[in-house]
Amino acid sequence: MEMVVVVHPTLEDYSSQVHAIAEKYGLDSWLDLYEHPEKMNEEERDDFSFIAMAVGDQLIHREFNSPDRSPGGRDTDDVLVEPGLIPGSTVLQEVPIECQRLCGTY
């Protein structure tokens, strides 16, 4: 399967967008948006859901494997993570993930 590379908006743009939503609601991380979808308005939920499904794996890869980078920092390790069915599935294999109101329970 060929990897689709996001050119525009960039991964940086998506990262900035989810961090801004989380910051708006006083959450420590954009990952907390999975647990608190009710805090977002409908448009933000749609945007977050799209971003999580499209590039969630890549954003999670950055979050967990690059602790020395600040949120929204430039990803320079050239590692491409192929999106899975569940955001973070390549990082959190065999860990049950519950995404309320966004993608169901897996």
User: What tens digit of pLDDT does each residue of 11-37 get?
Assistant: 889 999 999 999 999 999 999 999 999
**pLDDT < 70 regions, the chain:** 4-7, 66-106
User: Which amino acid would we find at residue 43?
Assistant: E
Largest CA distance in the chain: 39
Distance between CA atoms of 72 and 63, rounded to whole angstroms?
Answer: 9
